[in-house]
Structures are given as structure tokens and as C-alpha cells.
Amino acid sequence: MLKNYFKIAWRNLLKNKAYSAINIGGLALGMAVTIIIALWVIDELTFNNYFKNHDQIALVFQSQTLNGNTDTGPWIPRPLEMAIREGHMDNFRHIVMSSWNNSQYLKYKETSISRTGSFMQEAAPQMLNLKILKGEKAGLREINSIMLSASTANALFGSEDPIGKVVEVNSEYDMMVSGIYEDIPFNNSFNDLEFIAPWKHYITTSEWIKNSFDNWDNNSFQLFVQIADNISMERVTATIKNIKKDISANSEEFNPQLFLFPMNDWHLRSNFANGKQVGGRIRYVWLFGIIGAFVLLLACINFMNLSTARSEKRAKEVGIRKSIGSQRSQLVYQFLSESFLVVGLAFVFAIIFVLISLGGFNDLARKEIVFPWTSTLFWASSILFIVFTALLAGSYPAAYLSSFKPVEVLKGTFRAGRFAAVPRKILVVLQFTVSVAFIIGTVIVMQQIRYTKNRPVGYDKNGLIQIPTMSQDFEGKYELMRNEFLDSDAIVEMSSASSPTTQIWSNYSGYTWEGKPEGFQEDFAWTQVSYEYARSLNLKIVAGRDFSKEFASDSNAVLINQTAVKYMGLINPVGLYLKDSNIEDPGEPRQIIGVVEDMIAQSPYDPVKQGVYAFDNEGASSYYILRLNPKKSVSENLKLIENVFIEHFPDIPFQYDFVDEQYAEKFQSEERIASLASVFTGLAILISCLGLFGLTSFVAEQRTKEIGVRKVLGATVYNVWKMLSKDFVVLVVLSCVIAVPITHYFMTSWLEGYEYRVDLSWWVFALAIICSVLVTLLTVSFQAIKAAKANPIRSLRME
Amino acid sequence: MLLQLNNIYKWVNSGGQRIFLLKDINLEVEQGEFISVMGPSGSGKSTLLNVIGMLDSFDEGEYHFLEESVHTLKEKHRAQMYKEYIGFVFQSYHLLDDLTVQENLEMPLLYKKYKSPERKAMVADMLDRFNIVGKKDLFPVQLSGGQQQLVGVARALISNPKLLLADEPTGNLNSKQSEEIMELFKQLNNEGVTIIQVTHSESNAAYGSRIINLLDGRRV
């Protein structure tokens, strides 16, 4: 019986090749999109699963409240470690203090490379369950030991055995390689942990770290933990929540709260607003999940519509089968097995599409997804997926077709009736509602990105590079290097700063000024800069003056930005002093000598933060900022700069970033989403149009006789075209009417997530409507005109 | 007795008026009869045949088939009876275009869940009996009208029905083909198959043992 069903289904497919191609092709496309999205979603959801203990690992987070604003992040003070070790260790298996993941120079013999890594406590390899390839897992025991990832070791030592070799770190310390661990795969938070050095060593490297030993106010460290078995994160959080608050002197002011932030949330739910976890990337996972489901739905709708549209052709078959003894259930089985055949074929094509496009998708989405050939889970869910799709797509045609009464269909009087097309029309409206919504959504996302990209940054980011200078080697060499670079004629100006131009690394409080309101808890973005900072960035001074070597007092001067003027409630800030509010041991007061234009250093979607550019009088430089000579080509300039650099720092690899590229990176996440969304939108529209194309051809075929009669009576091609197109255009316009308010609602709430945002403009909606109507007309016209041009004599003779 | 119709009424409502398709039909059919139903177009011949064949329902009256009261049976049970006892032959053959002659013959057996070897044997038997072995792999469009109807009759008979219903079986055929089919019916009737046919042709009706005349849904 089943064989017979498939035989019929197969012959049917072969007989109507165009129909089958549209049906299977459309479905395959829809499935391919769904599979790719599913792979992406799984990749996102299994982030960090490389670590066996991922359910138990967490970072200790701290929330502090300032002026009613709560800031949350993984920054904690050093004495917390001892507080936990002494009082709470039964709740933990491991606790691991760690530095931030920074790039350092590693040198062995003549090979010098830059790699990112952290200084961590001994338990790190056990906690992360790193796979040791050579050496020992307890490789951080000795103060001068270092563990390398396999690829770092390979870059440094090539084929030599790395164990026991001595690596020079930042041209300061010699460290002996004690272990090599397998590279941590791409979709993991520790992906860029390319070496691990002992924490013991880190705490001896500089004065401020040594001094932080018992300082509860220096939140410059990270603490990773693995909790004990049989206890939940929440319960552990409850025990450590107030450790700092109970000890620290400033707790009244800041209300510090500690809590565990589970590794499972790091990637997808890492946004905090006012101390509350508010999601994060998970919303993109949802977004794409929904898109995938919709695209599949569109493809299934095609299948349903095309099947039922062909019902008149198959009505006779149903009648005959019933009259020779088929029961309704047997017909349902027959149509479902046809559906299974089509879906099965579509799945095979879908897999082929996926294999072809996975590489491109990975580039677009910045992923390293491989096709899960060997995953039983994948194949099991694929089978489920096929069954589900076949049932979804096949159930309606099966129910509809099998309900025909044999007497009616066999008498030849069967006409699908005026209302038979209603469900079909509803489905078309649903399809185009989704498509129009996708178009509008994508256009608005792109508008928002472009709008933000065009936002004035406040300085000239083109032709600007920055060189990291965090290593000790650079200490005291700023003036020398500036002169050398200027002499080489590769640059026209240079400055140094404690943060990169596109970021803010420090925030300061603890200052008062004349007219500061009572109880105002100030908080400034704080960047320490050299004399030439504003000049090198082409940052405009809007009041007062720039730093100048002519004023000796400028070593204690600051510039503030326009937002800071408003923030501090000042009208004429120039000349005022920022005074240290620490009464016992006050620092020098800082005079405000000028106001600079606001420049975007953080998120381009947020307002600029109140900022202070303080003259760097303690050698806090982390970057050189170089304004390239515009009269020479960029490559020429870079060559000259590199030569000078190598001459003075032969042991340090020459590294630099273009500021405009760094700035552009801020848009990457949104841009990636936008480009993915536009690809999926395109496919959704294509699938909908395929369906429409198929439907039109059936309608045209169905109405062949009518068209023939009309033509004999004098209808022109235009009349017929109008008649056939009108029905569909009405449906699409109706879809737009439904889609517009829905997308308006959702896009408004999406845009509310951005402080700096584009206004929704009516023309986007108008454009989407016009586009969809045009696309519909194009799709429909092909068939409509073909039908209209056919010779009426032939179509009438057929009857 | 094979079947009995008592006071069968069937109507449709159209524009507030009740139009009777069948009006007070009483009919008894014995096993082995060969009945011809005659009457002008629209007199209810086909409707009657469909009602007897359980393809169509009726609004009033009683229908007994082999001691079962059809009017009280559930849809599923009725389909079961239909499949078991009744074979249908149509004016326009109604073969499945996508299947070969052989596959068309096999179809009713599939619905009755015969095993594959059994089906093969029965189909081969039927092909042999109707002399169409050479055509078994052809599709319906490749056959003449007479040959198609031959297949149609073969298909109706393959599962050994007690009752063969034929709705103008020769309506689309020329006189020679028509004669062949009627001879075939005669022969089948002699072998014991009960036949009810609808026909316009006096000569065809003459093959039967009894003639029922209808006019405006009533027996006359």
C-alpha cells in the first residue's frame, strides 16, 4: 500500500515538473534557512560547553550604586579572596583570582610574538578542566612558570619541545614553560586565553597591585569560582552577598553587592541595567529563532496552497478512489505520504543548500559552525523536523482533499466554489504579512545603524593610529619617541593617553568643586593625556585653552568635555578647580583650563559621558596616538613608523590599530545582525513569491475557459492582466495593513533600547508597501500575461 | 433478497422550495437479477443508483442491504459494506490516469488489504479473463474507449462484488463496443452477478431481466 502511495506521488511529481520544482525548491530553501538558524542557535546555546564544569563555574560580580545608578560588573577588590578563603570555602570547590586578559609580548630566542593571556591562581587549569597536551596540569605552582596554549607554543617553539624552555615576558620576566594545553575552541569565553601565568607572580609586578592587598576600594581584579557539588548558585550568592558591605568603609555610600554570575549566562545574558540582569544576546537568539520558524512556516504555506490549489485536478482521483473502496483515512494516509515524500526530498536539497552556504554564513555571522554529520541528536531532530514539517504542510491538503464527495466530483459538476479559496487567501495574507514585516524591520535596523554611523564623533578619526605602550619598556620614552616619529615625517602630531581613543578605561570620583550640590555623587570618565591630545585628535576647544608647555601649572590642569559642564551644573567652568575630597591626604587640586567638544569614546548609541582629560603627570600612558602625515600614503607612513619603532624597541612586535577601524567595530554586532536579517528577509520574500507564482499559474489555468470567453467577447490583454492581478494585489495590500502596525510597535520598542536613535519615518512603511506590491505585480504578471495572450480558440476547444 | 428500498425520499432545498430528486421509491432486488433503470434526463436514475451504491445519502425511508439497515449504519461501517459487496462502472470509465492497467486493477485489492501474491494472482486472472494481458502496462490514455471501459468493468469485478452498478456504461462508446460490453454483462449475470444499470438505450435495456422506469424521481 505504502509503496503504491509513493508510486503515485512520484509520478505526480514527475508529471508536474514546474509545480514540483517550485514546491520542493521553496520548501528546501525554507528548511535550509531553518537548519542554518538552528545550527546558529545551538552554537549560541552551547557556548562554553567545552568546559566540563560549566554548570558550576561563575564569576563574582559586584553592583555599586552611585546617584541612584547601579553599575554592575566583574570587578572585585583583592581582599575579597581572603575573606572567602577564610570563611566560606565549604561552598566552593575552587576559587581563582585573575587579572584581566591582556596582550603581552612573549619572546623565545629570536621569535617575539604578542598573545593575550591572564595571570591566574593555581586552580585555573583544574577548574576549566583544560586538556593538557604536554607537561603538567598543576603548571602554575612555581612563581616563574607559564602555561601556553598549543598554538602559542607552536608559534614560539615550532617543533622544539617547549617544556622547561624559558620565555621572556614583556622583556621583563623570564618564565619557564610548565604545561601546554589544547587551544580553547572558538565558541567559548576563554577562547583568547592563549597563555596562563601565575597570579603569585602578577601580584609582585607593580606597586599598585601590591598595595591593593587590603584595599576594599580598588576593584581591579576578577574572581572565578567553581561552586561545590550539591549547592546552587543562588545559595552561594546569599552567603557572599554582603561580605564587602560588612567590611568596607564606603559601603554606606556605594552599597556594594556581590553575587555569582554563572558561566552559562556569560554569553547570552550578560546585560545589566541598574543592577538587574536584563538579557543580552539571548534576544538575538530569540529573534533568529522566530525568523527561522517564520521562514519555515512560509515554505509550508506554499506547500499547502499549491496542494489545495491543485485540488480540482485531483478531485477526480479522490472520487475514483473512494468509489472503488478507499476509506477517507486511507486517502489521508496517501496525501500525507505524498507530503512526506516531498518534504523528504526537500530535506535532501536543504542539506545540500546548507553545505554550500555554511562557509559564507560563518563569515557573515563570525562563527565556526561545522555541519554535525556525526551528531545523533542532529539526525534525530532532523527526523522529527521532517515529520513535523510533513504533518504541518500535509495535514490541511490531506483533510481538504479527502473530504470530497465522490458523487459530486465524478459527475464533473465539482467546482471548488467561491469560498474554497478563502483559506488559501488567508495563508497568502499571512505570508505577505510576515514578509512585509521583515522588510520594514530590516530597513529600520539598517537605518538605525547608518544614522548612528553618521553621528559626529567629535574628532577626526581618519588617518589616526594608536600603538599600545603598556609594557615597561615605554616608560619615560614618550618625548623621545614623539620627536623621532616627527623627524621621520611620517606623522604630523602625536600624543599619549591612558585609554584608547575608542574606549574609556577609568572612571573617577572623589572630587568637589565650587557650587557642587550637597550629596552629589560625581563620576567622571577619566583619561590621562599628554599636551598634544586635543591637537592630535583635532578635538575642538570650545572654551578656555588647550594644554600648553608654556604654563608650568598645566601639569595639574584638566580639560573637561561639554557634557561635564552641564553635568557639574556650571556656566563658566574655565578657571575653576577640581579639589580632592579626601580630607586627610588631599591630592593637588586640578584646574579646569578648557572645555573640549564631546567625543564618542564608548557606545555610539549612548550619550557621551561626562569626561575629564587630565594632564598625565604620572606616566599612565597606555597608547601613543599618531596623526599620520596626510601628504604621504598610509603604507609609506607605516613603514617609516615601524622602522623608528624597531630601532628603539627591537624586542617588541610592532602593533598598531587604526582608530577608524576600532570605531567601526562598535557597529559590528548590529551590522552582522542587520546583514543576516536582510539575507533572511530576502529569502522569505523569495519563498513567498515562489508560492505566489505557483498560485497564479494555477488560477490562470483554472480560469482558462473564462479568459477564452472574455477574449472572444473583446477583452484586451490589459483587461485580463488587470483581472488576474487585482485579486493578489488586494491580498498583499491587506497584508501591509496588518504588518504596518505590528512592526511599528515592535520596532519602536527595539529602538527604545538605544539612547541615540533614528525616528521612525512613514516613508519606510510606504516604501515597504510599494515594494511588496511591485514584487507581487511582477510575480503575478508573468503568468497573467501568458494566460491573457493565449489563443482563445484553443482554450475553448479543450472543453 | 439482496436489497430492499422502502419509501425512499431525497430532496434539495432551492430558493425556499423543496425539489424532490427521489420520491417514494420502493424497490426489491433479488440475487442474480439484471435490472435496467430507464427514464429521461433528470428523472433521478443516477441518483437512485448512487443511493443504492451508498455513494449518496437520502433524506427519508429505509434501505436494507443483505439484512443490514443501511440508513442506520455509521459512515465507516457503510464504507466497509460498500467495499465488500459493491462494484461501480462509470460512463466515463474513471480510471486513474497515473496508473497502468495492471495497477488500476490492483487498486481495489489494496484497499481491501489483500496480500501481494494474492493480488498478483487475482489481477493476472482478471487480465486473462478480459483478454487484456497485452495491455497491462499501458496507461489509460493509451487505450480506446471500449478498452478503457473493459478495464473499468474488470476493476469493478476484481474483488468479487455481489452487486455491480453501472451508470450508463456504454454512453461514451460506439455501437460495436457497446454491444461487447453488454454481452459481457449478460455473461457475468449468467455467472451469478447481480447487475443494476442505468441506460437510455432500449436495446441495452433489453439485455436485462427487468426494467424500472423513473420520471421526476418517481417510479412509473
- Look at residue A250 and tell me whether its pLDDT is greater than 80: no
CA distance A613 to A562: 12
Range of the domain at B197: 3-219
CA distance A795 to A705: 6
Judging contacts by C-beta atoms under 8 Å, the chain A residues touching residue B108 are 324-325
CA distance A775 to B148: 47
Contact predicate A615/A555, CB 8 Å: yes
Provide the domain count of chain B: 1
Do B94 and A8 lie within an 8 Å CB cutoff? no
Spell out which chain B residues touch chain A, with contact meaning CB-CB distance below 8 angstroms.
46, 50, 53, 55-56, 76, 79, 82-83, 88, 90, 92, 94-99, 103, 106-108, 110-113, 155-156, 159
Judging contacts by C-beta atoms under 8 Å, the chain A residues touching residue B100 are none
* pLDDT at residue number A797: 57
| The three cell numbers locating residue A789 | 495572450
CA distance A723 to A784: 9
Residue A323 or residue A743, greater confidence: A743
CA distance A493 to A637: 13
Report CA torsion sign: A756, A760, A763, A769: positive
CA distance A58 to A94: 10
Report CA torsion sign: A201, A207, A209, A214: positive
**Looking at the partner chain, which of A326, A407, A410 has a beta carbon nearest the beta carbon of B94?**
A410
**Looking at the partner chain, which of B55, B96, B108 has a beta carbon nearest the beta carbon of A407?**
B55
- Please state the rounded mean pLDDT for residues A437-458: 87
- Please state the rounded mean pLDDT for residues A580-585: 74
Cα angle: A213, vertex A215, A219; to 5 degrees: 100
Do A324 and B112 lie within an 8 Å CB cutoff? no
Do A324 and B50 lie within an 8 Å CB cutoff? no
- A540 Cβ under 8 Å from any chain B Cβ: no
B74-131, pLDDT tens digit by residue?
877 887 888 888 888 988 888 888 789 998 898 888 888 888 899 999 999 999 988 8
- A313 Cβ under 8 Å from any chain B Cβ: no
- Look at residue B214 and tell me whether its pLDDT is greater than 90: yes
* pLDDT at residue number A560: 93
* Distances in whole angstroms, Cα of residue B218 to Cα of each of A84, A612, B39, B45, B49: 101, 105, 10, 10, 14
Closest-CA residue of chain B to A406: B55
A31-48, pLDDT tens digit by residue?
999 999 999 998 989 899
Query: Where residue B133 sits, what CATH number does that domain have?
Result: 3.40.50.300
* pLDDT at residue number A473: 80
- In chain A, what percentage of residues exceed pLDDT 90? 33
- CB burial of residue A275 (10 Å; 0-12, 13-18, 19+): middle
- A249 Cβ under 8 Å from any chain B Cβ: no
Do B90 and A411 lie within an 8 Å CB cutoff? no
Q: How many CB atoms lie within 10 A of CB B31?
A: 13
- Least confident range from A69-73, A246-250, B8-12: namely A246-250
- In chain B, what percentage of residues exceed pLDDT 90? 40
Judging contacts by C-beta atoms under 8 Å, the chain B residues touching residue A406 are 55
- A337 Cβ under 8 Å from any chain B Cβ: no
Closest-CA residue of chain B to A313: B97
Indicate the pLDDT class of residue A584, thresholds 50, 70 and 90: confident
* pLDDT at residue number A28: 92
- Look at residue A413 and tell me whether its pLDDT is greater than 60: no
Calculate the CA A62 to chain-centre distance: 25
* pLDDT at residue number A420: 67
| 8-state DSSP, A462 | T
- Please state the rounded mean pLDDT for residues A237-241: 91
- A549 Cβ under 8 Å from any chain B Cβ: no
* Distances in whole angstroms, Cα of residue A244 to Cα of each of A208, A234, A259, A510: 20, 18, 11, 20
In chain A, where the domains are located: 2-43+283-451+668-797, 57-266, 464-663
A274-303, pLDDT tens digit by residue?
888 887 888 888 888 988 888 888 888 888
CA distance A653 to A106: 9
A121-146, pLDDT tens digit by residue?
999 999 999 999 999 888 899 999 99
- A15 Cβ under 8 Å from any chain B Cβ: yes
Per-residue HEC secondary structure of A641-696 comes to HHHHHHHHCCCCCCCCEEHHHHHHHCCHHHHHHHHHHHHHHHHHHHHHHHHHHHHH
Do B159 and A326 lie within an 8 Å CB cutoff? no
* Distances in whole angstroms, Cα of residue B204 to Cα of each of A620, B184, B185: 114, 12, 10
Question: For A66, phi and psi rounded to 5 degrees?
Answer: -140, 125
- In chain A, what percentage of residues exceed pLDDT 70? 98
Judging contacts by C-beta atoms under 8 Å, the chain B residues touching residue A313 are none
**Mutation choice for A interface testing from B45, B81, B85, B98 by most A CBs within 10 A:** B98
- Look at residue A470 and tell me whether its pLDDT is greater than 90: no
**Mutation choice for B interface testing from A5, A323, A328, A413 by most B CBs within 10 A:** A323
CA distance A378 to A142: 45
Going by C-beta distance under 8 Å and a sequence separation of 6 or more, which residues neighbour residue A309? A424, A694, A695, A698, A699
- Look at residue A197 and tell me whether its pLDDT is greater than 90: yes
* Distances in whole angstroms, Cα of residue B97 to Cα of each of A308, A325, A341, B157: 19, 17, 20, 19
Do B112 and A12 lie within an 8 Å CB cutoff? no
Contact predicate A567/A616, CB 8 Å: no
Indicate the pLDDT class of residue A799, thresholds 50, 70 and 90: very low
Average pLDDT taken over every residue of chain A = 87
